[in-house]
Structure formats: structure tokens, C-alpha cells
Amino acid sequence: VLGSAIVMVGLAAWISQKVTWHDTGYYHYSAIEWFRDFGSVPGIALLFKNLGFTSSWFALGAPFNPAFAGARVTAGLNGLALLIAIAHWCVAVRAWGKGESNFSDRLAVMFYTLAIPICLLMKPLSLILVSPSPDLPVLLLVGAVAWAMAWEGDANRSVAAMAGRPLNPPMLGDLETDLARKSPVLGGWGAARRRMLHPRG
């Protein structure tokens, strides 16, 4: 608990620095203010073109940027995204250390071990972190989506092992069927995969 509190306080102090990322001044903060005060306004880019560069990340951040706070909590949402990434890394490291990890856990450890220091220490990502830029969550989602796909594969393997049958995920089987229907050449990939997995079948 103490370690978690130290991490949260330290990260909060980090993202409370002065926002210097230039895109925040160009359109991030003004877009957040418009979302907060007026919602989505059709045609607003005709009046001010910078407001045409919008993102759902700004809409998500709008309720967390009250007018009385000014721009002091603008980077809070990016800090939350990084905090979730750090928590995910800690959970995966703990599982790996106990010998209870699977491929998805090890993938998460490797990705976040690279991504988190880069976000904190290397420009321009260290500047983007202290801003409401959607670039940071996009970077972290790359690892999160890869982890989710690997986790699904781990779950499929566990189910197949408990059932005592070879793994043949339905999604992959559907892909092979679709490839074979569209092109014999592409469909050959599925046949080759089946021969490698089941050489006697």
C-alpha cells in the first residue's frame, strides 16, 4: 500500500509540471474547453480550424477539467493512463516472479519496461506525458491490445489443455476458411499450418 501511494504521489507531482507541449496551446486545451462548456458543436472548425483537430480523448478529459481549475489538471488523464500501465506492469512482474506467468504477462513486462521509461525520460514523449495529448494513450494501447490478444491465446490454450484436445481457435479457423475461399494461394497458408500442428492428422 505504501509503495502504491508513493508511486501515485510521485506521478501526480510529475504531471503537475508546466505544460510545454506546443500542440496543447494550438488546439488541445481549447478543444477540451469547448467540449466541457458546449459539447460537440457541428461546424466549429469553420470558425476556428484548430478545433477541427479533435479526439474522443479530449471529450473524456473535459469533465475532469473544471473551469475553476484553469489548466492545472490538463495532464491528469495522461497521468491516469500511465498509472494504469504501471499497475499492469507491477501485476505482470509479480506473476512472473512467482512463476505463475504466461506469455501475455511476459509480453506486458517487456513492453512496459521499454515504454514507461521512454514516456518519463525521453523527448518528445516526456513532454507529451505532461499534456492532454492523445498520442500517449495510443502508444500505451499498442501494448494493451497486444497483451489482450496474447491473453486470449493463453485462455484458449488453457481451455484446450483442460479439455484434452489440440488448440484450434474458432477465429483462426474462420480466417483460414475465408482465405481458402478467396484465393488458393492464400488458403495454402492454412493447410501448411494444420500440417505443422498436426503432422499425423
Residues 6+ apart with CB under 8 A from 64: 73, 76, 77
Select the highest-mean-pLDDT range: 74-83, 107-116, 173-182: 107-116
Q: Would the pLDDT of 177 be above 70? A: no
Q: What is the pLDDT of residue 110?
A: 92
Q: Strands, DSSP E only, in 5-82? A: none
Q: What is the pLDDT of residue 179?
A: 47
In 62-134, which residue ranges form alpha helices assigned H by DSSP? 76-97, 103-121, 125-129
pLDDT tens-digit readout, 180-200:
555 555 555 555 555 554 555
Q: What is the pLDDT of residue 198?
A: 54
Count other Cβ atoms within 10 Å, centred on residue 195. Answer: 11
How confident is the model over 59-63, as a mean pLDDT?
A: 83
pLDDT tens-digit readout, 88-146:
999 899 988 888 778 888 899 999 999 999 988 888 888 888 888 888 999 999 989 99
Q: What is the pLDDT of residue 190?
A: 54
Which candidate, 143, 125, 121, places its Cα nearest to that of 134?
125
How confident is the model over 15-27, as a mean pLDDT?
A: 80
CA distance linking residue 136 with residue 144, whole number of Å: 12
Res. 159 pLDDT band, cuts 50 70 90? low
How confident is the model over 5-22, as a mean pLDDT?
A: 82
Q: Would the pLDDT of 166 be above 80? A: no
How confident is the model over 160-170, as a mean pLDDT?
A: 57
